Amino acid sequence: MNNVQEESLRDQKKNRRRLQILEIARGIIATKGLRSLKVRDVAEAAGCSVGSVYNEFGDFDGVILTVNRETVQALTARLRGVPAEDPVRQLYGLAETYLEFFAEHANLLRSLFEHRMEDDRPYPDDILQMVMDAFALMHPPLVRLLPDADDVKIALLSRTLFSAVHGIISLGLEERMVAVPPQMLRQQIEQFVDAHLAGLGILPVGARKS
Partner DNA sequence: ATTCTTCTTGAACATTGTTCATTTTCGAGC
Partner DNA sequence: GCTCGAAAATGAACAATGTTCAAGAAGAAT
Residue numbers at the binding site for DNA (CB under 7 A): 8-11, 13-14, 17, 37-40, 47-52, 54-56, 59-61, 118
- CA–CA distance, 123 with 115 (Å, rounded to integer): 9
Find out whether 97 and 82 touch, Cβ atoms under 8 Å: yes
Name which of 198, 126, 133 is nearest 162 in CA terms: 133
Neighbour-count burial of 40, counting CB atoms closer than 10 A to its CB (0-12 exposed, 13-18 middle, 19+ buried): exposed
Question: Exactly one of 166, 182, 186, 203 binds a copy of itself (CB under 8 A); which one?
Answer: 166
- CB 11 → a copy of itself: shortest distance, Å? 33
Least CB distance to DNA at residue 55 (A): 4
Query: Nearest approach, Cβ of 82 to DNA (angstroms)?
Result: 36
CA distance 201 to 45: 55
Site string for a copy of itself, 91-130 (x = CB under 8 A): -----------------------x-x-x-x-xx----x--
Q: Tell me: does residue 206 bind a copy of itself (CB under 8 A).
A: no
Query: Which partner, a copy of itself, DNA, none, binds residue 122 by CB below 5 to 8 Å per kind?
Result: a copy of itself
Cα 80 to chain centroid, rounded:
12
CB-based contact 107:27 (threshold 8 Å): no
Taking the complex as a whole, how short is the minimal distance between the CB of residue 88 and a copy of itself, in angstroms?
13
By CB under 8 A, name the one of 13, 19, 33, 80 that touches a copy of itself: 33
| Cβ within 8 Å of residue 20, ≥6 positions away | 46, 47
**Rounded to 10 degrees, what is the CA torsion of 196, 198, 199, 202?**
110
Number of chain positions touching a copy of itself (CB under 8 A): 44
Give the Cα separation of 27 and 189 in Å (integer).
28
59 contacts a copy of itself (rule: CB under 8 A): no
Scanning 41-49, 51-59, 137-145, 192-200 for contacts with a copy of itself by CB under 8 A, the matching segment is 192-200
Sites of contact with a copy of itself (CB under 8 A): 32-35, 114, 116, 118, 120, 122-123, 128, 131-132, 135, 156-157, 159-161, 163-168, 170-172, 176-180, 184, 188, 191-192, 194-200
